[in-house]
Structure 1
Amino acid sequence: MQTYKTREEVPVQEKWNLDDIYSEIHKWEEDLNTIEQLSNELKKFDGAIQSGQELFQFLRKQEELSYKFNHVFPYAMLKVDEDTRKTESQTLLDRARNLSVKVSSNTSFFMPFLLGLDEETLKGYIAEEKGLEYFEKDLFESFRYKEHVLTKEQEEILSQLGEALSAPSTTFGMINNADIKFGEVTNKEGEKVELTRGMYSKLIEDEDREKRKEAYKAYYQPYLQMKNSIASTLSAAVKNNVTTSKIRRYPSALEKSLFGDMVPKEVYENLIKATKENIAPLHRYTELRKEILELNELRQYDMSVPLVSGVKQDISFDEAYETMLKALAPLGEDYVETLNQFKSSRYFDVRETPGKRSGAYNLGVYGVHPYILLNHQDDLDSLFTLVHECGHGVHSKLSSQYQPQISARYSIFVAEVASTVNEVLLIHYLLDQEKDEKLKRYLLNHFIDKFRGTFFTQVMFAEFEMLTHEKAEQGQPLNVEVFNQIYESLFKEYNGDALVFDEEVKYGWSRIPHFYRPFYVYKYATGFASAIHIATKLLEGDAQTLESYLEFLKSGSSDYPLELLKKTGVDLTSPEPIKNTLSKFAELVEEFAGL
């Protein structure tokens, strides 16, 4: 695998092209100034909206500001993520963040004003000003928030606290991406080298158990050293969320998170309940793992090593891309052609380099195109990551293409559907193509592990979030001991008794960035369940599902997420999709055990 010491060494074709947003920095500066100007103009509407025409002028200006801000902020963020150590990029992002707080403060009067109107007055404004029809659905959607919006003065104070309230998340981000130095591991030459995240993802799958153990201990070392600092940031994030939920008069922080998507609390609770009722196949798989690895004691650093050895595949980025295009053929020629364009137009940042943000993501920039960050390691996992992020990318691209700005951004609730449909299609393609029994077993094992990570682990995380928020709501303390106790008992409950726990296991909570974006992870699991249903139908050649699914990808947020999914044949208000997903997992485990 090619490794790079600097970003400059990476071939141009494997670096994203940010010139598509701003070809010169002075254009970024111009937009930043325009946003500030528009923000000041918007403030003048405070107390001055007396007619449909004035309401329309305010909303049109606000949308213009939003369009520009959705170029200024992503550009700065993408620059930072190329190399988190560069202060000039951090400065751009800080300026964009500060401006965001100012905009939020200058427009904070609008929600209280809007919700102070009675419905008849608003309808009168819309009848009087034709341009308002474009905003009508959004305006009435805002009425749902009536009881959760504060007075004008209170809203202004809250918006000014925006930066302070997001500080725990920002602090954890800096600790996790810029400051953390992992312990040392032994390389092939027998020399001690500092562990990187990319190396860890390789070493934790190494067939040599001592190497896995060494990497595991080195990886957790800084988290254990900084456990109190990280516990303090996580505790503050949870408490901030609980406090703002109370201020906004929501029954709980969980219900505040679900409100925007119109998801009933029962969907969240049923997900956890149904998973725990059907957890036996996961325990069976853990025992199978111990048996196949022939271990007296199964430990956490044994949970990622492939159970079929000697089939490590080297897959270059170009090969991975070709495989993806073939695997996604069931989605039709247009879909595949869209993906061809992604590569030739440099939507990707492919390689791991020092200081680059870890992990992978897709970021859609409305009016430009999606940007996809990867840290490609030339292996099977990287192929899956590529296919996953391209699912998000095409979803962003099609929603932007077919929806106006106001409804182009899809809800996070449905975000994981497109990515996971792609992964399911990929695994089926790979299994169908494979003639070698050993490789087939390897792929099946890979899919089971993927299932465990994307579904069961996320449900466990979701329960951890629910329990920690409940403690904060009851005024109970949140600290290292509390987080450890909750995390360890959940880990045992989900993974079964076959595991022997190292000291590090209970600190798993300390390295999860998603916990700073409350009640987000359950959407991976509901998305996974929805995707299993859709992909199964696509593989059966169901033309109706293909048509409704492609429509879904073009829908953005033109309807509530549960309604959009119902159109593809998935009803998450019933336990069926979850139960079907869990029975699919049980089948996979039995098939693997049979092999």
Structure 2
Amino acid sequence: MNLNQFKSGFIMTLLAATMCLQATAQVSYKTREEIPAKYKWNFSDIYESWDAWEADFKSMSKEIEIIQSMKGKLGKDVKNLVTLLDAQETMMKKAYKVYQFVSFQSTVDGKNMELQAKLQRVGIFFNQMSMATTWISPEMIKIPEATMKQWIASTPALKPQEFGLMDMYRMQKHVLNEDMGRLVSFFSQSSGTASSAFTALSTTDIEFQEITLSDGKTVKVTPGMYSHITSTYKNQADRKLAYEALYDVYYKNKNTYAAIYEGIIQSEWANARAANYESCLDAKLEGNNIPKDVYLNLINTVRENTAPVQKYTKLRKKILGLEKYYGFDGSMSLVDFHKTYPYEEAVKIVTESVLPLGKDYQAKLKTATASGWLDVYENPGKRGGAFSAGVYGVHPYMLLNYNETLDYVFTLGHELGHTMHTTLASSTQPFATHNYTIFVAEVASTFNERLLLDHMMETTKDPKERITLLNHAIQAIIGTFYTQTMFADFEYQAHTMVEQNQPVNADIFAKLWGDIAQKYYGDVSEKTKYSNYPWTRIPHFYNSPYYVYQYATCFASSSKLYKDVTEGSKKDTKAALKRYITLLQSGGNDFPMEQLKKAGVDLSKPEAILAVINQLDKLVDQLAIEIEKLEK
């Protein structure tokens, strides 16, 4: 793994966290110091002191010197290549620890300017290092492929690097020469300007509106408050008021958002052409050897099979007794269910739910929840949401803001899926291949959520809890599979317009969104002035183009794997479980499509996609039955 892959991987981890719940915690502490140690991260597992951190940080410069000393020598002797790769690996192992030690502490103490300064130091060093090593890829690619094969066969030290070294030749036409690479690196910071502008406009400079609700409360409608109102206020007029207040802020800046988004796409297109790609999508897929047909198969198959979503929306409209149904009605609970789940109880439930994956898996999960790997509760200055991020040679660190809701029980199970995936991969793979791709990253997390759903459905006798669980599962499929595919469809069409030199602006983006939404939801939901403008506020479009489709492909993959592991003969399920655990242990030792095929999933065919669609259809029918039972 090189520096850019490391930085990109961690950024993707944080972006993935935006999919997770960001709610106000019921268990709150006025200061972080009040939180018992067993609910907080143990940073000493990474470094015992700041002096130890400083020593590693400074020592990375020595690895840079070794790397630089190999310039012009890589093709002359295999020993030079080994020296380079050893220095890179030593440096990257330190980079994980140096970066995460500061980043994690900043995550739970965002107001600490000293930590921010240290983060800036690390960022500056990484950028300098990136510019100083642009020569490596173009020089390495000059080594003849036959020579490289011979070196790998005769040099044990190169064996762990074989997959990456040989894949380099597949990507040969996209490797920039040193001069071109250096030139592109000069524009790397300016390429991120549009993304920074989106962040500034949507967070720093944004001014949210105040509204007065029917209960007399006056509130400022931030995204978090909007989520709270639309999920708890039974008066539809309150939900509508909150919706209009939130979206009006984005709507008034629609032209600015459109200009920013065009800038994002133009930057992507410029970088793609510089590296000899035919499209931005090709540039995003080629690195992991993902066939373009997989992306197109996903959006085309889902677009033609939206009936279960519309059936669910009609069912919600009926249950809630609404004359007209709007998008802002989608978060309202179908029944009055207010059960809370204390953290220890949630850990117990999740731990019990993973037993089908074996006692060894369950034991490792118990270690994760009892060893300072999880930061559980909200505190002032701590970022929202949830994520799991690894530190090679140490262990994963998992962030929560646990609030005792059912949603957060599932968030706990989801993030522990990531944690277990990282644990199994890091303990099985050498450093060179320990890091799995985003394309398979959400498989373990969504697999665990399905195990959790089944376990809770089997153990509860409360009809309202059953309905709530089914509704959660349905909304998980719609949010993770359908909605993300809809986003992917929008991205593909928007990028294609720019690539074909077609004009784009706020009205064009709005029409594009409206046309796609019509295919997904038809006339079930009412249209509003703001219906065609959600694209203005979706961070993934601006921070990580062509990312979201992987949520959907991972969901499809985990659904297929779950079925294989839990259904069929004892012999078949045992074999399927072995394949699944092998997938988690494989890290990044092969292309993700090949890893999934070995586990039993072929995403180039529509069957895996249709399996999720059929699953949703059955869950909606089951929900209707449970509602009918409750009414009787």
Superposition TM-score, scaled by structure 1 size: 0.94
1:53 and 2:71 matched: no
Q: CA deviation at 1:520?
A: 1.2
2:397 is paired with a residue whose SS is strand
What CA distance in whole angstroms lies between the structure 2 residues aligned with 1:496 and 1:83?
Answer: 45
Alignment partner of 1:458 out of 479, 484, 487: 484
Comparing 393-402 with 67-76, greater Cα deviation is found at 67-76
Aligned to 1:301: 328
Q: Which residue of 2 aligns with 1:563?
A: 594
SS in 2 for 1:506: coil
Q: Which residue of 1 aligns with 2:49?
A: 24
SS of 1:306's partner is: coil
Partner of 1:162: 188
- What is the 5 A alignment of 1:409-420? 409-420=435-446
AA aligned opposite 1:441: I
Distance 1:487 1:19, change over 3 A: farther
Counterpart AA for 2:72: G
Aligned to 1:389: 415
Matching residue of 1:593: 624
Does the alignment pair 1:576 with 2:601?
no
Instruction: Give 2:300's aligned amino acid.
Output: K
Shift of 1:594: 3.4
Matched, 1:319 2:374: no
Match of 1:252 among 279, 291, 296: 279
TM-superposed CA distance for 1:509, in Å, is: 1.7
Deviation sequence 1:378-412 (CA, Å, 0-9, x none): 21111111111110110001100111100000011
Residue aligning to 2:157: 131
Provide closer, same or farther for how the CA distance between residues 146 and 24 of structure 1 changes in structure 2, counting only shifts above 3 A: same
Whether the aligned pair in 2 keeps the contact of 1:52 and 1:128 (CA below 8 Å) is no
The 1:380–1:166 alpha-carbon spacing in structure 2 relative to 1, beyond 3 Å, is same
Q: How far apart, in 2, do the equivalents of 1:441 and 1:330 lie? A: 24
Q: Matches of 2:139 and 2:483 in 1, distance apart?
A: 43
Match of 1:372, SS? strand
Per-residue CA distance 1:543-575 (angstroms, 9 max, x = gap): 111111111111101111111112221111211
Find the residue that maps to 1:295 and give its secondary structure. Answer: coil
How many angstroms does 1:109 deviate by?
Answer: 0.6
Q: Name the residue aligned to 1:502.
A: 528
- CA distance in 2 between counterparts of 1:340 and 1:140 reads 38
The verdict on how the C-alpha distance between 1:579 and 1:189 changes in structure 2, with shifts beyond 3 A counting, is closer
The reply to whether residue 526 of structure 1 matches residue 557 of structure 2 is no
Amino acid of the structure 2 residue aligned with 1:535: Y
In the alignment, the residues of structure 1 paired with residue 248 and residue 395 of structure 2 have an alpha-carbon distance, to the nearest angstrom, of 39
* 8 Å contact from structure 2 (residues 214, 238) kept in 1: no
Matching of residues 6-405 of structure 1 within 5 Å: 6-49=31-74, 50-126=76-152, 129-173=155-199, 176=202, 180=206, 182-184=208-210, 190-195=216-221, 197-206=223-232, 207-220=234-247, 222-224=249-251, 226-307=253-334, 309-405=335-431
Show CA shifts across 1:302-328 (max 9, x none): 011122x21122122222111111122
Contact 1:351 1:374 in 2 (8 A): yes
Deviations 1:351-396 (A, max 9, x none): 3344432322111111111111222222111111111111011000
Q: Over aligned residues, Cα RMSD in angstroms?
A: 2.3
Compared CA separation, residues 221 and 4, structure 1 to 2 (3 A): farther
Structure 1 position 163, deviation (Å): 2.7
- Quote the Cα distance in structure 2 between the aligned partners of 1:306 and 1:453: 16
* Cα distance in 2 for residues equivalent to 1:549 and 1:400: 16
Task: Tell me, yes or no, if the aligned pair for 1:328 and 1:426 is still in contact at 8 Å.
Answer: yes
Number of residue equivalences: 594
Change (3 A) 1:233 1:149: same
TM-superposition CA deviations, 1:283-320 (whole Å, max 9, x none): 1212222222221211111011122x211221222221
Post-superposition offset of 1:199: 4.5
* 1:30 alignment partner AA: A
Give the whole-Å Cα distance in 2 for the aligned partners of 1:431 and 1:312: 17
Q: CA deviation at 1:236?
A: 2.2
For residue 220 of structure 1, report the CA deviation from its aligned partner.
3.6
- Taking structure 1 as reference, are residues 172 and 350 closer, same or farther at Cα in structure 2, changes over 3 Å only? farther
Given that 1:455 and 1:524 are in contact with CA atoms closer than 8 Å, whether structure 2 keeps it comes out as: yes
Cα distance change, pair 222–336 in 1 and its aligned pair in 2 (3 A): farther
Taking a change above 3 Å as real, the CA distance of residues 419 and 178 of structure 1, as seen in their structure-2 partners, is farther
Match of 1:546 in 2: 577
**Segment of structure 1 superposing worse, 73-82 or 108-117:** 73-82
| Structure 2: gaps of 5 or more residues | 1-25, 627-632
Higher relative contact order (CA 8 A, sep 6+): 2
Quick one: structure 1 residues 531 and 214, their matched pair in 2 at CA, closer, same or farther if it must change by over 3 Å? same
| 2:16 alignment partner in structure 1 | none
Runs of 5+ in structure 1 lacking a partner?
none
Change (3 A) 1:436 1:124: closer
**SS of alignment partner, residue 503 of structure 1:** coil
Deviation at 1:24, TM superposition (A): 2.2
Further displaced range: 203-212 or 377-386? 203-212
Gap change, CA 1:5 and 1:119, over 3 Å in 2: same
Within a 5 Å distance, the mapping from 1:475-490 to structure 2 comes to: 475-490=501-516
